[in-house]
Amino acid sequence: MKETVMERVSSDPFARFLGIAIEEVREGEARVSIVIKDHLLNFHGAANGGLIFSLADVAFAIASNSYGQTSVGINVSMNYMLAAKEGDTLTATAEEVSGNPKLGLYRLTVRNQYDEMIAVADGMVYRKKEQFA
């Protein structure tokens, strides 16, 4: 992995604000995690859906930009399967399923510490001409 790519993806201010940890980065793949704390819950006492989406989106952004080419999300469709609660550790993975010079399709999964599926999504990126690494 190019050092510039890792520096770029590690500097994401929103991911840092949420407390998302980058666990693994490879070309076309990423794994990130977060521990659910009380300020990340919704009024039902479950992890906020926006947080779950954001966790998957961070993995998606890292995986799709892991080649050093600027890639921007153009669509994500997420399905929520199971609620997460305070104290749970959620891990999101993103893996490239298909790609060409302009578009990339990624499968995003979010699981808890018991390997239960919390959410699954498909995301598509547009690959710009700019290289940053």
3-state secondary structure at position 73: strand
Domain locations along the chain: 3-131
Q: What is the CATH number of domain 3-131?
A: 3.10.129.10
Is pLDDT of 25 > 80? yes
**Tens digits of per-residue pLDDT, 32-67?**
999 999 999 999 999 999 999 999 999 999 999 999
3-state secondary structure at position 108: strand
**Band of the pLDDT at 2, cuts 50, 70, 90?**
low
